[in-house]
Amino acid sequence: MKIKQYIVTLLIRNGEYEKSADTLRTAETPEAATRAAQLGQCHHKIGEGAQFLPNGSLEDAYGELVYEPKNVVLVEPGDVATLAKYLPVH
């Protein structure tokens, strides 16, 4: 499978506060890019304060933080260099 670049948008919830975060991720699939983006935000290890929920969100800090996938977009190869100037690249 070919490695691709994706823009992943996560909704980050901390109690009643919310913000979104965009990152440029390298992965084979949109699902792998989303999971990498979630784990990149996570402060704890899976099973040690963090866990994936059935709806695809990642709960962190024993439930204080939740990283919910909102959008994932495949980036065309010619656009990667431009986006890398403005988004965190992982």
pLDDT band at residue 90, thresholds of 50, 70 and 90?
confident
Residue 87 has pLDDT above 90, yes or no: no
Tokens standing for residue 81: 């260099």
Rounded to the nearest integer, the mean pLDDT of the chain is: 94
Q: Which residues contact 30 (CB under 8 A, 6 or more apart)?
A: 6, 72, 74
pTM across the whole model:
0.90
Say what the pLDDT of residue 10 is: 98
- The 3-state DSSP class for residue 86 equals coil
Residue 43 burial by Cβ neighbours in a 10 Å radius (0-12, 13-18, 19+): exposed
Q: How far is CA 8 from CA 49, 52, 62, 75, in A?
A: 23, 17, 24, 10
Q: How confident is the model over 15-38, as pLDDT tens digits?
A: 999 999 999 999 999 999 999 999
